[in-house]
Amino acid sequence: MIFNSPLEQFDILILYPLTIKGIDFSITQTTIFLWIALFHFFFFFFFGLFQAHLIPLPLQTLCEQSYLFITSMVKQQVGAIGLRYFPLLFVIFFLILFSNLIGLIPFAFTPTSHIALTFSVALSCISRSLLLGLKKTV
């Protein structure tokens, strides 16, 4: 693959065009790399916690410490009541983490470099928190 411009790496390439009832569900390199990041997330936690030991192995220790890190961060920022949103924040954190780690590989694509992905994640989180705030005050 030859690049003529440094900005060509941000072009969205349609790998498999797919349209269902007029809605575009095409598979692009963004969806492929998001699937790869999601696969690494499940792979990391499945093999890290598959056979949990009383004396943890290094991968199990890394999984448990990451869980405790996100839990403590949610408790500090939102409080104990915010722990019901912990699974959502946990998945978003690791999706962004693994997407950015995959982007460190030369000639790989970073899905979080597109404003559409970051905007959609941010908009869904902020709209949910605004609705919860309005519901709680009214």
The model's pLDDT over 70-122, given as tens digits with 9 standing for 90+, comes to: 999 989 988 888 888 889 889 999 999 999 999 888 878 888 888 888 999 99
**What is the C-alpha separation between 125 and 85, in angstroms, rounded?**
11
Residue 3 reports pLDDT greater than 80: no
The percent of the chain in helix, strand and coil, each rounded to the nearest 5, is 70, 5, 25
Spatial neighbors of 71 by CB under 8 A, at least 6 apart, are 83, 86
Amino acid at 122: A
The dihedral through the CA atoms of 27, 113, 33, 44 has a sign that is negative
The model's pLDDT over 78-90, given as tens digits with 9 standing for 90+, comes to: 888 888 888 988 9
DSSP character at residue 107: T
